[in-house]
Chains A and B, each alone.
Chain A
């Protein structure tokens, strides 16, 4: 069976500090991978998606970046966090050519 992991579960960071969130998927190969952000009381906003190693598409201009160094690893980064970066970050995966996405447990980020 497939599983998706995210860490850390919660994070409190000062404004201007760097960020690295990690997502890994087990039990599947060549998945499509996605990063979403959910602000309090809001829907999911797609930030980045990837169809393969080193292939990243950005949906929203911002101070975040994403990388996919391995087939089942997806990393979300920032060099300098802003207050507006606070939110619930969700990683998701989907089988190639399928629409259904499976979500990880999420990371709650608070920028102070």
Chain B
């Protein structure tokens, strides 16, 4: 099975940087996803890491260390619209995703 941990809440100021950590224990690993979910809406894809290292996509970056069972999502130049829940999800070898409980990020002016 999968055990995925991420912080429950984080608060940051507009224009700042926030890093959301995710640790996982897995019986089969086939990549790690980050999704963004605004309140009352469906999750939308942000990033995918399958190899160790940093993936950068605009203001968002994601890092993976498979040996440590660790990932983080880095949000730069925070905007008010970035206030949302961020979900860490681990893919297993049978094409299923196991989700963490999500981290609610609140951006303040």
Interface residues of A (CB under 8 A from B): 32, 34, 41-46, 49, 88, 90, 94, 97-106, 108
Contact = CB atoms under 8 A, between A and B. Distances in A.
Nearest to A101: B97
Nearest to B43: A103
Contacts of B42: 90, 103-106
B97 A99 contact: yes
A28 to B, nearest CB: 15
B31 interface: yes
Contacts of A106: 41-42
B91 interface: yes
Contacts of B102: 42-43
Contacts of B40: 88, 108
Interface residues of B, number: 22
Nearest to A95: B95
Given A32-B95, A49-B96, A88-B40, 12 more contacts: A44-B43, A44-B97, A44-B99, A46-B97, A46-B98, A99-B91, A99-B95, A99-B97, A103-B42, A103-B43, A103-B44, A108-B40
B41 A99 contact: no
Contacts of A41: 101
23 contacts: A32-B95, A42-B101, A42-B102, A43-B4, A43-B87, A43-B102, A44-B43, A44-B87, A44-B89, A44-B99, A45-B99, A46-B97, A46-B98, A88-B40, A90-B42, A94-B95, A99-B33, A99-B48, A100-B33, A100-B48, A101-B97, A102-B45, A103-B42
Nearest to A104: B42
